[in-house]
A and B are shown apart, each in its own frame.
Chain A
Amino acid sequence: MQILIILLQIAALLAIVLLHVAYTTYFERKIIGHMQVRMGPMLVGWHGLLQPIADGIKSFFKEDIIPEQADKPLFLAAPIICLVTMLASLAVLPFARGWVLADINIGLLFLFAMSSLASYGIILAGWASNSKYTFLGGMRSMAQVISYEIPMGLSLVGVMMLSGSLNLTEIVTAQGTSIFSIYLFPQIIGFFVFFIAMLAETNRVPFDLPEAETELVSGYLTEYSGMRYAMFFMAEYIGMMVMASIGTVCFLGGWNGPFEIPFFPPFWFILKVYGFLFLFIWIRATLPRYRYDQLMELGWKLLIPLALLNIFLTGLFKVFT
Chain B
Amino acid sequence: MARGRPGLSPALLGLLPLAFLAVFFAWPVGAIVRLGMDAAALDVLADPGTWRIVAFTLGQAAAATLVAVVAGLPVAFLLARVALPGMAVVRALVLVPFVLPTVVVGLAFRGLLGGGVLPIVLANAFFNVAVVARTVGGLWAHLDRRAEDAARSLGASRWRTFTAVTLPALTPALGSAAAVVFLFCATSFGVVLLLGGARFRTLETEIYLRTVELLDLSGASALSLVQVTAVVAVLVLGARARRRREAALKLRARVESARRPVGGEWWVVGAAYAVVALLVVPIASLVARSVDGGFAGYRALSGTGHAGSLSVTGWEAAANSLRTATDATVLALILGVSAAVALVSLRRARFIDALDTALMLPLGVSAVTVGFGYLITLDALPGDLRTSAALVPLAQALVVTPLVIRLVLPVLRSIDERLRQAAATLGAGPWRVWREVDLPLAGRSLLAAAGFGYVVALGEFGATSFLARPDTATLPVVIGRLVSRPGELNSQMAYAACTLLMVVTVAVALVVERLRAGELGEF
Do A and B bind?
A: no
B→A interface (CB under 8 Å) = none
